[in-house]
Amino acid sequence: MERGFTMLKAIAQRRSVRKFLAEPVDPHEVDELAAAFQAAPCGMHKTEVLRGVIVTDQQLRQEIEQVSNNACYGAPLLFILAVQKDSPFGERDASVAAENVMVQAAGLSLGSVYVMSGAMALNKHPELLKKLGLPTDFQAAVIVPVGKPAEAPAAEDRIQRYQLIRK
């Protein structure tokens, strides 16, 4: 890796976006989001416990919006991360993969947001999980709505966001 290469810029510019333009995400950008998902690390190399579903179909997105009480904010793309129900690593792996997708989205000037409540609501509808192509031993862990932001997210000072101890 080049010495000057840094992901910090994309990480720092990532913001939660809850208002999206209706226009679809470019297919090449969707491919880049998929590649970011595929590059995510996983616990004990148990790749079989995590699945991703990219939803661009308008009807299916509307069904998910309806059961999730509009938790996906009308985004033109939903990246659903599903995990095997009995996996001790699944939810952690889903969070890491979601971060990869969200950072890549920021690098592409797309907005995204981490949605757990929508995933929890989606899990109450097994017929919809089946439509998404998920086996019965999987459940949604997180939904990442993605699209072009309808407005610029507010800047936020993240220098002292969390307590950090150095020894």
* pLDDT score of 6: 65
* pLDDT score of 47: 86
Q: How confident is the model at residue 155 (pLDDT cuts 50, 70, 90)?
A: confident
- In angstroms, the CA 97 to CA 51 distance is 10
Instruction: Round the average pLDDT of the chain to a whole number and report it.
Output: 93
Q: Is the pTM of this model over 0.95?
A: no
**57-76 mean pLDDT:** 97
Domain edges within the chain: 18-147
Name the more confident of 3 and 157. Answer: 157
Q: Give 86-147 as a DSSP string.
A: T-SSHHHHHHHHHHHHHHHHHHTT-EE--BSHHHHHHTT-HHHHHHTT--TTEEEEEEEEEE
Long-range Cβ contacts of 68-71 (<8 Å, 24+ apart): 68/115, 68/117, 68/118, 68/119, 68/121, 68/122, 68/143, 69/117, 69/118, 69/121, 71/115, 71/117, 71/118, 71/121, 71/143
State pLDDT tens for residues 126-153: 999 999 999 999 999 999 999 999 998 8
Tokens of 36: 């970011």
* Residue 103 Cα distances to 20, 31, 87, 134, angstroms: 17, 14, 25, 25
Q: Is the distance from CB of 48 to CB of 86 less than 8 angstroms? A: no
State pLDDT tens for residues 5-33: 467 888 888 899 999 999 999 999 999 99
CATH of domain 18-147: 3.40.109.10
Whether 1 has a pLDDT exceeding 60, the answer reads no
**108-124 mean pLDDT:** 97
